[in-house]
A and B are shown apart, each in its own frame.
Chain A
Amino acid sequence: MFEYFKNIWSGFTTALHGMAITSSHIFAKSVTIQYPDEKLTLPSNARNRLQLEMSRCNACNSCAVACPVNCITVEGTRVSPDDPQQDVHWDGKPRKMWVTRYEIDFAKCCFCGLCQSACPTDAIKHTVEYEYSEYDRNKLLYKFQTLSPAEAEEKKRLLAEFRAKEKEKECSSTAGKAHEAKE
């Protein structure tokens, strides 16, 4: 009998305790952040959308190898010394590789940050930019290369030409050498 009343009493009082606690929160400051108007400030190392700094990238492919989901595609071609257009890196050193293709598929990316730590020149970096949703998944394929396909072809052709010339020279010089040796 005593148990019975104790139960009822504790049911009643614990409910009142709970109500006291919840009511004490009514006037507490709200923690809501009204998203599009207010935004959380992300720490500077937050891993969100990647950004490529072309003047640093030398198409070494480390990032593509490091990526666990294979969402980076890098293609490069050597800069032909005959190329009328020569470029320098951010630190003033001459560019050795043209980046003919650099694509990141953000639909695949899992923001693990491995590419960022693999890059030897800090070219690829996470930014704090996270609002880039798209209705079309294909739009998430970001192309970072600055060269147009035609230009890329041109660079490849220049290199191939240069290589061919080199080879020819080499052939002729070796041929010349052989000739000399004969003589």
Chain B
Amino acid sequence: MGEIKRMDLEYSQLDSDRMRINVGPQHPSTHGVLRLEVEVDGEIVTEVVPHLGYLHRSFEKHCEKLNYQQIIPFIDRMDYISAMNNEWPYVMALEKMLDIKVPEKVEYIRVIVAELNRIANHQIAVATFGMDAGAFTPFLYYFRDREAIISILERLSGARLLYNYFRVGGMAADIYPGFKDDCLNVVKQVRKTNAEIMKLLIHNSIFIKRSANVGILTPEVAINYACSGPVLRGSGVAHDLRRDEPYSVYDRFDFEIPVGKGDVGVVGDCWNRNIVRVHEMEQSCRIIEQALAQMPETGDVKAMIPKRIKLPKGEVYMRTENPKGDLGFYIVSNGTDKPERMKARGTSFVNLSVIPEISKGYMFADLILILGSIDIVLGEVDR
């Protein structure tokens, strides 16, 4: 200690134009342990370099040591906010490989839990986005509602966040009596709160000023960076795997794909990315209602498959629409019960890569909002 020497700076020596700031890894609004190295000119951001890896757990390598069943709990821990949606593409990939037809009821349960989880994810996304803008109250209103969703999923699977509910060819457990009513109550409450948040936050003039015309992501850039999910749809590209590559029973439902229309701000700005999520919650509500009505009352939810799953030699890629975008799993099998290679296409990771592109030239405070509007989960970015 004490060795640090004060420099006597001459005015001419003072570097007056640029300042480098580290945002994170411990910072109130980096949504986890992300570190952004930001260069600012006064308040204007001139450069952003995201540094990743603070949460790296070597997921893909680890999977090579686990059998197919044991991988599912680890997949939960990628995007831990929407674990149900994470498990789905993986399970579907295995089913595709094994050529298993899943029972009808299972498909409906999967749709419902995935959409419930999508609502929960978007609630967090919109809420934290509002909090980045300084509005704390909507955050807690959304968390209050999310609690209802979480408890439904808890009663189904036994865990509140990391469900491990999907099984190859079925589900871990059947739905409980009263599940339908619970879901309908959630749908009602989600709609009510959304109407309130629309007034309280989304259409608040300060919020519009903050988020509209900020972080504009043009459709071309979004496609070039392989963005997906609300980030891409906020730029006006109606791409949704649920409709474009219908998997499961999604082709039986009537729902729309909300895109950023630019009724406030311009297409592709933070406000539009955010409003897409709010509208998607409504669409998820519609899907849940239809699925509940169509779901067969009876049926087995556990398909008969051997305890030890052995995949035939070969490879498979399966992707689904995660709340954050396309989530895909690529599995190379060598015929044993462990994958030879497992690759996850992390949505958040891909979407995050667009940050340096769209945040240059905006103000420092905008950078935080842009980051919030992308809705990343560091568990998935670093894996």
A and B touch in the complex (CB under 8 A): yes
Total inter-chain residue pairs, C-beta < 8 Å: 69
Q: Which B residues touch A22, using CB under 8 A?
A: 137, 200
* Interface check B16, CB cutoff 8 A: no
Asked if B206 and A15 sit within 8 Å, CB to CB, the answer is yes
- Taking A22-B137, A66-B70 as contacts, is the C-beta distance between A111 and B159 under 8 angstroms? yes
B73 touches A68 (CB 8 A): yes
Do the beta carbons of B205 and A43 come within 8 Å of each other? Answer: no
- Decide if B172 is an interface residue (CB 8 Å cutoff): yes
Q: Give the size category of B's interface with A.
A: 20 to 34
Alpha-carbon distance between A126 and B157 when the two chains are bound, in angstroms? 12
Binary flags per residue of A156-173, CB closer than 8 Å to B gives 1, else 0: 000000000000000000
Contact with B along A42-60 (1 / 0, CB 8 A): 1101110000000000000
Say if the beta carbon of B147 comes within 8 Å of chain A: yes
Closest A residue to B173 by CB, please name it: A45
Q: Mark B136-169, 1 if CB is under 8 A from A, else 0.
A: 0100010010010000001101110010100000
Q: For the complex, is B365 an interface residue (Cβ under 8 Å from A)?
A: no
Interface of B is mostly: helix
A139 to B48, CA, bound (A): 45
Q: Are B155 and A45 in contact (CB under 8 A)?
A: yes
Determine if B205 and A10 form an interchain contact, defined as CB atoms under 8 angstroms apart: yes
Partner of B162, one of A11, A31, A110, A118: A110
> When A15-B205, A22-B137 are in contact, do A45 and B70 touch as well, CB less than 8 Å?
no
Give every chain A residue within 8 A of B69 (Cβ-Cβ): 66, 114
**B70, A114: Cβ atoms under 8 Å?**
yes
Nearest A residue (CB) for B145: A31
A18 within 8 A of B: yes
B33-71 interface with A by 8 A CB criterion: 66, 69-71
A7 interface hit (Cβ, 8 Å)? yes
B154 partner, pick from A14, A31, A43, beta carbons under 8 A: A43
Closest residue of chain B to A11 (Cβ to Cβ) is B205
Is B200 a contact of A18 with CB atoms below 8 Å?
yes
Residues of A within 8 A of B336 (CB): none
Find the residue from A15, A42, A112, A118 having the highest chain B CB count within 10 A.
A112
Q: Give chain A interface residues in 89-129, CB to chain B under 8 Å.
A: 110-114, 117-118, 126
A137 contacts chain B at the CB level, 8 A cutoff:
no
A–B Cβ pairs within 8 angstroms, 6 of them: A7-B205, A47-B158, A66-B69, A67-B70, A68-B70, A68-B73
The 8 closest A-B pairs by CB, nearest first: A68-B70, A112-B73, A11-B205, A47-B158, A43-B155, A45-B158, A14-B205, A21-B200
